[in-house]
Amino acid sequence: MCQIERVRYRKCPLVEVAYQLNFPTILSIEAEMPVKFQNEIRKAFPQYQMQTEQENEITVNITGEDVNPMFRHHPVRKFHQFISEDGMWKITLAKNQLAISTLKYEQWEDMMRRFEQPLKAFSEVYDQSYFERVGLRYVDAIKRSELGLEGVEWKELIKPHLLGCLSFSQEEVEKVNLNTLRAEIVMDGISVRVSSGLGIINTDNKEPDNAFILDCDYYQVGKVDMDKIGEVAECLHQKSTEFFRKSITRKLHEAMDPQELK
* Residue 75 in this model has a pLDDT that exceeds 80: no
- With contact defined as beta carbons under 8 Å apart, do 189 and 220 qualify? yes
The model's confidence at residue 72, banded by pLDDT at 50, 70 and 90, is low
**CB-based burial of residue 132 (10 Å sphere; 0-12 exposed, 13-18 middle, 19+ buried)?**
middle
- With contact defined as beta carbons under 8 Å apart, do 235 and 190 qualify? yes
pLDDT in tens, 39-60: 999 999 999 999 887 655 555 5
> What is the mean pLDDT of the segment spanning 144-163?
92
pLDDT in tens, 30-39: 999 999 999 9
Instruction: Give the separation between CA 65 and CA 1, rounded to whole angstroms.
Output: 59
